[in-house]
Amino acid sequence: MNHLSAESTPPSPLILAEEVHKWFGDFHALRGINLTVYPQEVIVLMGPSGSGKSTFIRTLNGLETHQSGRIVIDNLELSRDSAALDVIRQEVGMVFQQFNLFPHLTVLQNITLAPVWVRKWSRSQAQAVALQLLERVGILEQAHKYPTQLSGGQQQRVAIARALAMQPKIMLFDEPTSALDPEMIQEVLEVMLTLAAEGMTMVVVTHEVEFARSVAHRILFMDQGQVVETAPPEQFFTQPQTPRSRQFLAKILSRSQLRLTP
């Protein structure tokens, strides 16, 4: 299966997952996941609730540990060895469904924290970068507020800026718009669209069909801990290959239809 188009000699992949298995106690949550992501690719993970999307995306930066199989991020194997893990986490940014901003720090402090403490940048340098990022996500004027003083959409954009401040090579998004009111979803998606257009390598768990259609290189459809179908978006949304994905698509397409009608 080679879905990469124009590349004749593909560069080395940024993410390589081979036969990843994960158990929660007796529960087999990931049953042999394979994924290869090359630089500048955008992968969208879809699937019904409980299919293991979050679990898988969280193994990619070691928030969950896998019990067998191999995960290689930017040529570094993810293992229990904490030195490699520290390096990998600096290269992989993550955005969560619940934003997870630090409520005791201002927006600016949220963003400069990791660059100052982990990358050891000077405070002024980190602040300059943070302000640039805030401008990019369109909330420069909120820099000195606390997260609780912002709307959900603004908080999520801060969270994106916070992850970008570490200048990661890969960005992981776990349902970044699911906790947002409908009118705020667009502002977050726009930031993500720009990011994809700029060539950021991204793995995104989302049910936003329009977003997937316009930027995803591949859609991975997961069910019960397995990747059931992998396809480019036009193919996945028009001719889904398995009964499970057809059923799933029928559900989310009708839902997004509902949302689009005023």
Residue 79 found at the interface with other proteins (CB under 8 A): no
- Among 19, 77, 81, 86, which residue sits at the site for other proteins (rule: CB under 8 A)? 86
- Among 146, 179, 237, 249, which residue sits at the site for other proteins (rule: CB under 8 A)? 146
Paired tokens of 112: 């400069």
Q: How far apart are CA 172 and CA 95, in angstroms?
A: 6
9 contacts 58 by C-beta, under 8 angstroms: no
Task: For residue 49, give Cα distances in angstroms to 5, 160, 252.
Answer: 31, 24, 12
Nearest-approach distance from CB 51 to ligand ATP, in angstroms: 4
DSSP secondary structure letters along 36-58 = EE-TT-EEEEE--TTSSHHHHHH
Indicate the residue among 174 and 187 with the shorter CB distance to ligand ATP.
Answer: 174
Q: Judging by beta carbons within 10 Å of its beta carbon (0-12, 13-18, 19+), is residue 38 exposed, middle or buried?
A: middle
Nearest-approach distance from CB 61 to other proteins, in angstroms: 6
Residue 241 found at the interface with other proteins (CB under 8 A): no
Indicate the residue among 123 and 251 with the shorter CB distance to ligand ATP.
Answer: 251
Indicate the residue among 29 and 185 with the shorter CB distance to ligand ATP.
Answer: 29
SS3 193: helix
Residue 82 found at the interface with ligand ATP (CB under 6 A): no
Residues that bind ligand ATP (CB under 6 A): 24, 27, 29, 47, 49-55
